[in-house]
Copies of this chain bind each other. A is one copy, B any other.
Amino acid sequence: MSAPPASERRLIEIIRRAVRRAPGVRVGIGDDCAVLEPDAGSLLLATTDLLIEDVHFRRRWATPNDVGWKSLAVNLSDIAAMGGRPRWALIALACPEAVGLDEAEAFYGGVQALASEHDVAIVGGDTAASPGGWIVNVTLLGEATLAPLTRSTARAGDVIAVTGTLGRSAAGLALLEATPAPRDVAAAAAADVTTAHLRPRPRTWEGQWLAAAGGVTSMIDLSDGLATDLGHLCEESGLGARVELGRLPVDAAVHAVARALDREALAWATGGGEDYELLFTCAPEAVERLAEGLAGTTGTRLSAVGEMTAAADGIRYLDAGGRAVPVRAGFEHFVTGRARA
C-alpha cells in the first residue's frame, strides 16, 4: 500500500487555486461531486471527449498548455454546435510518472485560459498515473434556453453554410508533422495554420447567435472534416447534399502550405477535420440576413457552400464545371480513425 504521492496532492492544490468559483457552482473541486445550480427552465447539454497522446496530439509539437487548451476547445465546439452556452467543465488527466508538476500546471493553465474566455468554470475532475502517454478527458456541461439545434432537422432545399474557413487545422497538422520542415512557408502562414491546429477557437458566440437568429434548421461542428460531418448531418436528417467545391472558403495561408508540401488544399478543406467551424443549414432566403448579422455581431464570415437534396441523390461534391468529384471523408489520426458516440 502506498499513499497518493505528494506530487498528486500538490497537483490538486494547484488545480484548486487555478480554477475559479463561478456563478452556479455551489460545491466545486474538493468533494465527491461538483454541485451545480442550473438556470431555472434551461435544458442541460453534456458532451465528453477523450484526447490521447500519439492519437490526437504529439508531445513533440504540442505543449502541455496547448493540450489543455485544445481538450476544452473540442468540447466547447460541441456545445456551440447546438447553440448552447458552455458553463461547467470536468477535467480528467493521466500523465506518465516522469511528467513534472510544472507541465501538469501548464496543462491546467491552458484549460483555464480558454475556460476564462468562454465563461466556463472548472468544477471537478480526476487525476491518475498513465503507464503510457498523456490521457485527457474533458466533459463539458452547458445550458440552452431555446430548443438546441440538432443534426437531424435539415430540410431538402436548405442552403448549407459554414463559418470561417476550412482546412487550416489540417494544414497546420501537416506542417507540424513534416520532416524536414519546408523552408518556403512564410512565418505568418505557418503560425496561422499551426495555431489553428494547436489552439482552435471554437465558435461559442457564433453558435448561440445562429441558434437565436431564427431560420437555422440544423447545425453540427466540423470536428471530423466537412465530408464526414456533412455525412452525419445528411444521415441524421435523412437527406442528401450537393456541395460546390469552388465555394469552400480556404485561406491563402492554407494554399501556401499546400504548395510548399505538395499537398491539396481542397482535400484539407473537405477531409481535414478539426477546424471546429460550424456547419449549418437554413432556408435560402435567410442566408444573407444571417451572414450580415453574424459578421456584424461576431466578425465571423459565413459562406454558403451548397444545398441539401433528397437522400436518393447522395452527397455530391461538384467542381467549377459542375462535375462530381470524389471526396474522401475522415479525419487523419496517427493510430486510426475516431468516431464519436
Contacts and interface: CB of A to CB of B under 8 A. Distances in A.
B151 A335 contact: no
A8 interface: yes
B36 A128 contact: no
B33 A45 contact: yes
Contacts of A77: 32
Q: How large is the interface on A (under 10, 10 to 19, 20 to 34, 35 or more residues)?
A: 35 or more
Interface string A126-147: 1111111101010101101000
A27 interface: yes
Copies of this chain, whole number: 2
Contact of A3 (B3, B151, B228): B228
A63 interface: no
30 contacts: A1-B332, A2-B336, A3-B328, A4-B224, A5-B336, A9-B339, A30-B152, A30-B236, A32-B79, A32-B82, A33-B78, A34-B45, A35-B43, A37-B43, A46-B123, A47-B90, A47-B124, A48-B126, A48-B137, A49-B126, A55-B128, A92-B137, A126-B137, A126-B340, A127-B338, A129-B333, A131-B133, A131-B335, A132-B133, A139-B139
Contacts of A55: 94, 128-131
A250 interface: no
The 10 A-B residue pairs with the shortest CB-CB distance, nearest first, are: A132-B132, A4-B337, A3-B330, A137-B137, A125-B341, A139-B139, A32-B81, A8-B339, A4-B339, A129-B336
A56 interface: yes
A113 B141 CA distance: 25
Contacts of A42: 38
Contacts of A97: 335-336
